Amino acid sequence: VETPGSTQEMRDGIVKRFKAAVKQYRHHPALLIWSIGNEINGVWNGFLQQLSNSEVDPCGWDDTYDDLGGCWTHAGIKPWFHTQCYNTSFCVYKRLYEFLNDCAVAAHEVADVIVVSTFADVDALYDKVERVGAYAPDLDAWSAQVYRGASFGDFFTGISNSTGKPLLLTEYGVDAYHDVCGKDRDDKSPCFNTLGDDSGSYIDEAAQAEYGANLTKEIQAHRSDGPECAHVAVGDTKCACAGGFIMSWVDEFWKGAKVQAGCKPAYPDPDFSTSTCDDKAHVTCGNWDTSDHDLCGYFLDAAPDSYVNEEWFGILAPTQCADGIDSLYPREIFWTMHSLWTKKGEKEAKRPSMDLFPTCHQIVEQTCADLGRPGEISPWIETTLLLLGRGYNPRHTWNPGASTPRNHTHYKGVPVCSGHGRCTTDDMECGKGTSTKKATPCCTCELGFAGEGCAELDARMYVAVFVLTIAAMLLTSMLLIFIGRRSIPQFKRPSRDGTQMTSKYAEPLLS
């Protein structure tokens, strides 16, 4: 478990830190809701086990799947009344809900905020809310991540019959990849197909948009913001949902590191063996390389292709432009959701301009324009260096992989690299980054210019300018001396024998 909570002291520490965080950021305009944990009721997170196995009065709850003899509801049937699983699950969930309520009370003491805890749609969630939910009266709403395919099924009915509190869907949707790994449910062998191969897998924007639209329409059909929902109560399924968050804004390359189905170790580790792989695992998973868009996931009947690819849920697809700089491309679901979320009664929404989604070229070019500080070098020095240094236009823009600059103008009126260099994403030219500076993109400066944005003179240029200045002064002095000598009248020097030389112009004779 990432946040241990097996003792009361540990749980009190979590409550204290949660309260402090709420107090610190309570006025932040981007924060709408505070959630205590994420899928905290999932056995994969280990928190329920921590609560059950407490040193003081352990619950004795068995977290094994119920279809394997344990108490974790996997087959979909809630535990029978007063059985061991019924009693031990009550014990562990009572501790969980009391802990969540302590967090909510603490948060409400320092701010007027909405507090929830996002539950996974697992372990007979309705049953737990109905039996134990009263121990968390200060939670403002129940929330859940629900993945049931093209429809929520009986979820709204089930949760409405268990509580009168509002419901918030904190995750829903499907991924945008059609994976042949889900083709045959009876074949449990690991999958060797990879992105872009000829296996028949492909990016499926249409299915993602269709499923997302169907689910969103169901949420709208059960929305709780109408006047008829002012006095909603248990069992009122029509007013069951306060809203939902579609999963997700952008693909999450990091999710391949920890997935439900993987191999230990993963391919191409020398010790890789298919015998160590989970059912229908991609052999390269878990994949800790966050620059690799992998297919890691797990089999799920409800998915369009019966396989969930964890990294592919984004309504926007990222493309890496440079070090830590990505461009975002809207998938079809973006336009579908834009249309659905347009206010009822308005004319069909016009698609937003693609200017909202700048290309890699535009983003990198803007970055290099921001690096520069045009106009900081004296014009006469700049002109001299440009004449001496090269015969091509200084106003260059980004041209990845090119060995010579590409002539262009400016980025929105601002010279790229101060107008004295070329923007590039070539690692060989940019070198390594630092803790405060990304490696790429960078400006490669023309002769005589230096600095991150080519807005400074090269140190050697200062020496050259000094030498040229001294030389110019000397030449000027010599020229002035020469001109002076040529312009002064010449007189004959005295003769060597001491007699006065006769003037060139004789004086007139006196009469």
Domains assigned to the chain: 8-248 (3.20.20), 361-459 (no CATH)
| DSSP SS3 for 470 | helix
Report for 19-28, 61-70, 457-466: range of highest mean pLDDT: 19-28
CA–CA dist 473, 476 (Å, integer) = 5
CA distances from 471 to 384, 461, 463, 467, 477 (A): 16, 15, 12, 6, 10
DSSP state of 507: P
Q: Is the pLDDT of residue 109 over 90?
A: yes
pLDDT of residue 411: 59
pLDDT of residue 345: 45
Query: Which pTM value belongs to this model?
Result: 0.80
Phi-psi domain of 39 (left: phi exceeds 0; alpha: psi -120 through 50; beta: other): left
Q: Is the pLDDT of residue 273 over 70?
A: yes
Please state which of the ranges 183-192, 217-226, 427-436 shows the lowest mean pLDDT: 427-436
Residue 173's nearest CA partner among 137, 145, 197 is 145
- The strand pair at 316-322 and 307-309 is best described as unpaired
pLDDT tens for each residue of 356-408: 899 998 899 889 988 887 766 667 666 666 665 554 343 333 444 443 344 34
Residue 500: what are its φ and ψ, rounded to 5°? -75, 130
Higher-pLDDT residue of 493 and 193 is 193
Average pLDDT (46-62) is: 92
pLDDT tens for each residue of 296-340: 999 999 999 999 999 999 999 999 898 888 999 999 999 999 988
Residue 128's nearest CA partner among 165, 91, 169, 100 is 91
Average pLDDT (266-288) is: 96
pLDDT of residue 403: 35
pLDDT of residue 468: 82
Contact status, residue 136 vs residue 100, Cβ threshold 8 Å: yes
* Residue found by looking up tokens 């029509």 in the block: 238
* Residue % of the chain over a pLDDT of 90: 57
pLDDT of residue 409: 44
Q: Is the pLDDT of residue 116 over 90?
A: yes
DSSP state of 32: -
Strands (E), 11-140: 33-38, 114-120
Helix residue spans in 327-376 (DSSP H): 332-340, 360-371
CA angle 347, 349, 351 (to 5 degrees): 155
Higher-pLDDT residue of 20 and 393 is 20
Contact status, residue 388 vs residue 447, Cβ threshold 8 Å: yes
Residue type, 154: D
Contact status, residue 393 vs residue 410, Cβ threshold 8 Å: no
**Token couple for 177:** 């990849």
- The strand pair at 114-120 and 142-145 is best described as parallel
Please state which of the ranges 39-48, 92-101, 243-252, 382-391 shows the lowest mean pLDDT: 382-391
pLDDT of residue 395: 39
pLDDT of residue 134: 96
Q: State CA 367 to chain mean position distance.
A: 17
**Cis check: omega of the bond before 265, within 30 degrees of 0:** yes
pLDDT of residue 380: 62
